[in-house]
Structure 1
Amino acid sequence: MNRFEVITPADVASASRLLTEDGNVAFAGGVDVIDLSKQNIASPAALVNLKGLKELDGIEVRPSGELRLGATVKLSEVAEHPAIRAKFTAIAEAAGEAATPQIRNLGTVGGNILQRPRCWYFRNPDVVCLKKGGDTCYSIGGLNRYHAILGGGPSFIVHPSNLAPALIAMRASATIIGPAGQRTVELEKFFTLPTVDPKRENSLKPGEIITGVIVPAVSAGVRSHYLEAREKQSFDWPLVSVAIVIDRAPGAKTVRDARVVMGAVAPIPWRSQAAEAVLKGGPLEESRARATSEAALKDAQPMSDNAYKVVIAKVIVRRAIMHAAGMEDA
C-alpha cells in the first residue's frame, strides 16, 4: 500500500474541489477503499474524508411520505429504522443482509452503492484485465463461477451491492453534487454497462459526490421484499439477490404494478421488465410467481461454470414474490 494523507474538508463544496485532483479518493466507512488499496488496485494520494459532513448524513421520512437517506448513513441504521422497516421493507432487509454487524456499523449507503466488483481477476494485482485497462476479460474461458449470466460483455463482472437492487425496485433517485452543480438521477439510470465503458460501473463524474438517495412515498397497497442466496451465511457477497415490489389496491388480489430487480447476476443491478409484465394485471398466486421467475431469467446466458445461478435466481424470485404477497412459499 502506498503512503497517503487524509484530508477532512469543511463542507461538500470543498470535498468536491478536492476530488477533482488526480489521486484523491473519497471515503466515509472506507471498507472498499482500504481493500482496494491493500490489493494495489487503488493508489490514492489522499483520502478525502466525507464523515461528519451534515449534507451527507441523516435519515428523514418527510411529511409527503418520501424517504431520504444520506450517503454517509450507516447500513445498520437503515436496517434498524422502524419507519423504513414498515414502509420500505426491502431496503431495510437489503441493508441488514450486507456483510457482518461490525461492517454494517461502519459501511455506508453511498459506499454500498459505489463498491467495486469482487471479481478475482479484477482484485488480483498481478492481472491486467479489461476493467483495469487491459484487453481481456479473463472470466471468458477462465474461472467464472461468480460472474454474469445477464447483460455481460465485454466484461462479465457482477455488481456486488446489496442495497442497490432494493433502492431501484423502490424507484429511488440519487442526489449528486459536483463542479457543475447539483443533479438528480434515477438510480436505475446511474449504473452503466461494460458496453459503455468496461473500466467503470456508474456515471459519476470527476469531483461528483452522492449526497443521498430519495425514495418516493409508497401507497397503502405496496409490499416489498429483498432476498439473497449466499454460499456462507455468516459473511459473504450474494450469489444472487432480488428485490420485489408489488402494488395491489387495498383488499384486492390483482397486481396493478410491480418491480423486479436482481443483483449479482449482471454488471449492473438488473431490472426485468419482462418479469414485471407477467406479474402485473392478474391475481397473485403461486403459478404467477413461478411464471414471473421464468420470465426474469429467459434471457440468461450462463458461462461455463455458473449455470447454477439461473436455477437459484428462479427460486429466489418466486420466493420473494410469495413473501411480499404475504403468502408462504410453496
Structure 2
Amino acid sequence: MKAFAYYSPTTPEDAVKALAGPGTVEALSGGTDLISRMKDYVTSPEKVVYLKDVKALAGVEEKLDGQVVIGAGTRLADLIADPLVRQRYQALRQATVEVGTPQIRNMATIGGNLLQRPRCWFFRNGFGLLGTKDGKSLVREGDNRYHAIFLTEGDALFVNPSSLAVPLIALNASATITGPGGARTIPVEQLYRVPRTNEERELTLAPGELLTHVTIPAAGKNGMYEVRQKQAHDWPLVMTSVNLKMNGDAVADCRVVLYGVAPIPWRSATAEAAIKGGPVTRDRATAAAKAAIEGAKPLSMNGYKLALVQTTVKRALLDAVGDRYWQEG
C-alpha cells in the first residue's frame, strides 16, 4: 500500500483536528474495510487517523428520557452483549449477530459498519464508485447479480453495504456528527446519498467530520429477516428490518427498511402503507410483501431479488409480532 502519515488521537476534539487537516484523510477504527481497500489501492490516503484510542467514542448508555446512545466506536461484540440492546432492540442485535465472524465482530465498530464503502466488485477493482469505463456502465452490461433493483435509472447501481443502517433506520435512530464547525444531528438515513459521478461520495459526511454516536428512541415491535447465499461468513443478499407502533392489535405506524436493493438503505413506503391500519396477519404480511416490490426495476442478472424482497418483508413483519412460522416443525 501507499505510504501514509499516521495519527492516534485520544479525544474527539483531537480526532476532528486530525481529520480536518490537509490532504486526503481516512479514519481507521476496526480496519475490517479500510485496510483491504488500501492494500488493493482502491483507497490511498495521505493520512490515516486511528480512532480506537478515543475511548469516549465507545459504550452504550441509557438517557433519562429512555433513549439509548451508542458510541460509534462500540465494537459489534459489545453491542451484542449489551443488556439494553438485547431487551429493546432485537432487530438491531440480530442484524449485528449476523455480521461477519466472531473475529470480525471483535474488531469492527458500529461507526465502521455504517460508514463502510460499497462492496461492488467493479468499485473494488478500480473502476470507480459508479463502475464505469470509457463512459459506459460496466455494471449494467456485466455481472450485476448482487446490484440494485431500485433507483436503477442512473449509474449508481451498487447496493449500500451497511447491514446495521437498516435496523437503525427502522428504529428511527439519529446520528451525531462532530466537525470543525461543531456538532450536528441527522436521521441515520441522511448519512447516505446517491452519487451522480465517480467524484462524489455516497456518504454525506464532509471532510473533517467524525461520527460520534447514534441515538435510538423507544422502539415498538421490531423484527428482521435476511437471506444470504451461504450460512457461513457472507453478506446478506436481501434483508428487511421493521419497527411497528401498535394501537391494540392494529399497526398505527411503521417503518419497513430493506438492505441489498438500492444504493441507499431502502425504505419501502408501499409496504408500510399496506400493513398500516390493521393487524399483522400472515395474509396482510403477504400483501405488504407484494407491495414492497412495486417500482423495482431489476438489472439483467438480479431479478431473483424480487422474490427475496417478498420473503424477507413478510417474515420480518411476522417476526416482529412473534409469528415465526418458518421455524415450526
SS of match in other structure, 1:140: helix
Give me the CA root mean square deviation.
Answer: 1.8
Counterpart residue identity of residue 148, structure 2 = A
1:265 lines up with 2:275 in the alignment = no
Tell me the distance in 2 between the aligned counterparts of 1:123 and 1:85.
35
Once the 2 structures are TM-superposed, how far is the Cα of residue 133 of structure 1 from its aligned partner?
9.6
- Out of 278, 282, 291, the residue aligned to residue 282 of structure 1 is 278
SS of match in other structure, 1:48: strand
Aligned residue pairs: how many? 324
Tell me the distance in 2 between the aligned counterparts of 1:318 and 1:129.
32
Any idea what the Cα deviations from partners look like across 1:25-73, whole Å, max 9, x if unmatched?
A: 1111011110110111011222101112133111112232101110000
How does the TM-score come out when normalised to structure 2? 0.94
Tell me the distance in 2 between the aligned counterparts of 1:129 and 1:73.
28
Tell me the distance in 2 between the aligned counterparts of 1:60 and 1:5.
34
What residue in structure 2 maps to residue 178 of structure 1? 179
Tell me the distance in 2 between the aligned counterparts of 1:134 and 1:165.
34
Provide structure 2 residue ranges, at least 5 long, that are not aligned to the other structure: none
SS of match in other structure, 1:323: helix
What residue in structure 2 maps to residue 26 of structure 1? 27
Tell me the distance in 2 between the aligned counterparts of 1:76 and 1:225.
20
Once the 2 structures are TM-superposed, how far is the Cα of residue 129 of structure 1 from its aligned partner?
6.0
SS of match in other structure, 1:239: strand
Tell me the distance in 1 between the aligned counterparts of 2:296 and 2:252.
26
What residue in structure 2 maps to residue 293 of structure 1? 289
Asked if structure 1 preserves the Cα contact closer than 8 Å seen for 2:129 and 2:198, the reply is no
User: Per the alignment, do residues 134 and 73 of structure 1 end up closer, same or farther by CA in structure 2, a change over 3 Å counting?
Assistant: farther
Asked if structure 2 preserves the Cα contact closer than 8 Å seen for 1:130 and 1:136, the reply is no
- Out of 212, 231, 234, the residue aligned to residue 236 of structure 1 is 234
Any idea what the Cα deviations from partners look like across 1:118-162, whole Å, max 9, x if unmatched?
A: 11110013x356368974431111110000001232210001111
Provide structure 1 residue ranges, at least 5 long, that are not aligned to the other structure: none
1:223 lines up with 2:221 in the alignment = yes
What residue in structure 2 maps to residue 48 of structure 1? 49
Counterpart residue identity of residue 241, structure 1 = M
Tell me the distance in 2 between the aligned counterparts of 1:254 and 1:196.
44
Alignment of 1:1-330 (within 5 A): 1-20=1-20, 21-125=22-126, 127-128=127-128, 130=130, 135-152=135-152, 153-195=154-196, 199-218=200-219, 222-249=220-247, 252-329=248-325
Tell me the distance in 1 between the aligned counterparts of 2:10 and 2:230.
41
SS of match in other structure, 2:183: strand
Aligned-residue sequence identity (percent) comes to 41
SS of match in other structure, 2:148: coil
